[in-house]
């Protein structure tokens, strides 16, 4: 029984001691950010979370636009373009205070970076509407690097992008391998044809927010006017959300403890193609090679600029 054994710790830190250790849980590499026992306990609690028929779940690999989508879905549900007073973290199942999800009023917009097998067991049975958002791996790598470099808690990585990239391309970062995560969700979709599923791309949401907001509203069965979609798109522009994050969210002070002094926090740049400012020609060739060997098999066509 896996949970009763001390799991093997896989030390994937680089020769300078930077990076993360992992353990394997249900075949998934989990970064040891606290300790494996606490991590397993957290997952067990999430799996047992009682779902409600009208819950919506947002699933994404870290840095694919979860905050953005969460705000949009909440606005659609509320039928207006007012920011939710709570931060997305309140509805994020794997955060230490995830029991807060139980106390959220319906209809809830939950979110998580966990693999499907670690999400609430009732997902399939209750046919919970699931929105999956993806982003091109190059921008994800840059965004995740900036996140782990700026974070005071759990995931600090005080090294260069180059060193981070080595780990990212091998899937040895918090969140694990991006391509593994995508493949697993593709399998979930195939194995659970009754699970209502909408797939979005960060780049499309950026290119045509109104069209994508309408698609989300249709998917969750909420009627919206074109005018409301337009208002939500505007309220959820990067610039406005960044301001709202500091001015509207009730727990802003708590979250600002998460970021190092001078770091931009969760709302960094919000662009498609910022990777070009970070990735050298040689690194890009290496990245493309990994994409050809691994990501291509998913059949997912990413937009890079």
The CB-of-274 to ligand A3P minimum distance in angstroms stands at 6
The CB-of-136 to ligand A3P minimum distance in angstroms stands at 11
Stretch that binds ligand A3P, among 15-23, 41-49, 266-274, 297-305 (CB under 6 A): 266-274
Q: Does 269 bind ligand A3P (CB under 6 A)?
A: yes
129 — phi, psi (to 5°)? -65, 125
Select the residue interacting with ligand A3P from 267, 273, 284, 303 (CB under 6 A): 267
Integer CA distances (angstroms), 26 to 44, 94, 115, in order: 12, 16, 10
Token look-up 């009730």 returns: 250
Q: Does 68 bind ligand A3P (CB under 6 A)?
A: yes
Measured from the CB atom, is 54 or 274 closer to ligand A3P?
274
Q: Does 86 bind ligand A3P (CB under 6 A)?
A: no
Query: Cα–Cα distance between 25 and 7 in angstroms, integer?
Result: 8
Alpha helices in the chain (DSSP H): 36-48, 66-78, 100-103, 122-125, 137-150, 161-169, 178-191, 202-207, 209-220, 226-235, 238-247, 252-256, 281-293
Q: Does 143 bind ligand A3P (CB under 6 A)?
A: yes
Query: Cα–Cα distance between 120 and 50 in angstroms, integer?
Result: 7
Q: Does 64 bind ligand A3P (CB under 6 A)?
A: yes
Q: Does 65 bind ligand A3P (CB under 6 A)?
A: yes
Q: Which of 18, 25, 67, 113 is catalytic?
A: 113
**Contact status, residue 210 vs residue 233, Cβ threshold 8 Å:** yes
The CB-of-217 to ligand A3P minimum distance in angstroms stands at 17
- CB hemisphere CA count around 60 (13 angstroms): 27
The CB-of-127 to ligand A3P minimum distance in angstroms stands at 25
| Residues 6+ positions from 192 with CB-CB distance below 8 Å | 124
Select the residue interacting with ligand A3P from 19, 36, 62, 89 (CB under 6 A): 62
Instruction: List the catalytic residues.
Output: 113
Chain residues binding ligand A3P by CB under 6 A are 60, 62-68, 139, 143, 146, 206, 236-238, 241, 266-270, 274
């Amino acid at each position: 029984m896996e949970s009763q054994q001390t799991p093997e710790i896989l030390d994937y830190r680089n020769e300078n001691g930077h990076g993360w250790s992992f353990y394997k849980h249900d075949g998934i590499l989990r970064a040891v950010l606290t300790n494996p026992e606490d991590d397993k306990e957290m997952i067990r609690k999430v799996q047992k979370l009682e779902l409600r028929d009208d819950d919506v779940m947002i699933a994404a690999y870290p840095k694919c636009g979860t905050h953005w989508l969460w705000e949009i879905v909440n606005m659609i549900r509320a039928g207006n373009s007012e920011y939710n007073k709570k931060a997305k973290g309140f509805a994020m199942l794997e955060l230490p205070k995830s029991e807060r999800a139980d106390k959220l009023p319906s209809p809830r917009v939950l979110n998580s970076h966990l693999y499907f097998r670690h999400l609430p067991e009732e997902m399939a049975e209750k046919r919970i509407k699931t929105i999956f958002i993806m982003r091109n791996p190059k921008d994800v790598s840059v965004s995740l690097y900036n996140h782990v470099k700026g974070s005071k808690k759990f995931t600090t990585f005080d090294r260069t992008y180059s060193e981070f990239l080595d780990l990212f391309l091998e899937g040895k970062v918090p969140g694990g391998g991006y391509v593994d995560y995508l493949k697993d969700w593709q399998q979930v979709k195939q194995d659970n044809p009754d699970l209502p599923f909408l797939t979005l791309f960060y780049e499309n949401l950026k290119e045509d927010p109104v069209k994508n907001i309408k698609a989300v509203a249709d998917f969750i069965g909420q009627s919206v006017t074109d005018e409301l979609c337009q208002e939500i798109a505007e309220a959820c522009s990067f610039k406005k959300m960044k301001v709202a994050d500091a001015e509207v969210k009730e727990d802003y002070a708590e979250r600002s403890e998460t970021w190092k002094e001078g770091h931009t926090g969760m709302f960094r740049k919000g662009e498609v193609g910022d990777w070009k400012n970070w990735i050298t020609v040689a690194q890009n060739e290496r990245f493309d090679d990994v994409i050809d060997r691994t990501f291509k098999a998913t059949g997912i066509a990413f937009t890079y600029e």
